[in-house]
Amino acid sequence: MSSKNITFDTDSGVSYESNLTINSGADFKANFNVYTPSNSVFNFTGWKGTSRMTKSVSIGSSAYPAATFNVGFTSAAGGKINISLGSTATRTLSEGRYVYDILVSSGSTVYRIVNGNILVIPGISSAP
Strand segments (E) across 1-128: 3-7, 16-17, 20-23, 28-35, 48-55, 67-68, 70-75, 80-85, 96-106, 109-121
> What is the domain partition of the chain in residue ranges?
3-121
- Residue 67 confidence (pLDDT): 92
User: In terms of pTM, does the model score above 0.75?
Assistant: yes
* Number of Cβ atoms within 10 Å of the Cβ of 127: 8
Q: What would the mean pLDDT of 87-101 be, rounded to a whole number?
A: 93
Domain 3-121: assigned CATH number: 2.60.40.3350
